[in-house]
Amino acid sequence: MPRYRLMEHTADLGAWFYGRDPEAVFVNAGLALMTLMIERPPRRGEAVTAVALEASDPEDLLVRWLNELLYLVQVKRRVAVSIRATGLTRTRFEADVETAGFDLARHGIRGEIKAATYHALELRPWRGRWRARVVFDL
């Protein structure tokens, strides 16, 4: 089964993210986000950043997580190369994110994504696994 699948959406970008459990969905969504944004993502990381986020519920946590990764790319100029989830509860997500520096000339940009949104947001069990639907503002 694929880690993610794009979905039809009029003005924005929508995607389904899959995993064996919610933690895997978070990891797969984060890695897929990098491939949706960057043409030639770096293959090796240079540093590990510990990320810890809190939110009101799992869906809110997923949006905050994806927006944190967008912040890393857009502001810190870092690309997530690998992600290791270290903890997930209903209101908290922790991960070690291995990153590399982003170089526009070397890595290229596939498309600008401004933010993960709450529109049509979903995170739930599906066919013995888990899946999430996220719409991104372009």
Structural domains of the chain, with CATH: 4-137 (3.55.10.10)
Q: What is residue 76's predicted lDDT score, i.e. its pLDDT? A: 96
Residue-wise pLDDT for 18-31, tens only, equals 999 999 999 999 99
Where b means 16+ CB within 10 Å and e means fewer, 12-30 reads: eebbbbbbeebbbbbbbbb
Q: Give the Cα separation of 24 and 129 in Å (integer).
A: 10
Spatial distance between the Cα atoms of 39 and 109, rounded to a whole number of angstroms: 5
pLDDT for 4 equals 80
CA dist., res. 92 & res. 110, Å (int): 30
* pLDDT tens per residue, range 51-108: 999 999 999 999 999 999 999 999 999 999 999 999 999 999 999 999 999 999 999 9
- DSSP annotation of 90 reads S
Average confidence (pLDDT) over 36-56: 96
Predicted TM-score (pTM) of the model is 0.92
Give the mean pLDDT of the chain.
Answer: 94
Q: How would residue 1 be classed by pLDDT, with cut points 50, 70 and 90? A: low
Compute the distance between CA of residue 97 and CA of residue 58 in angstroms, rounded to an integer.
Answer: 19
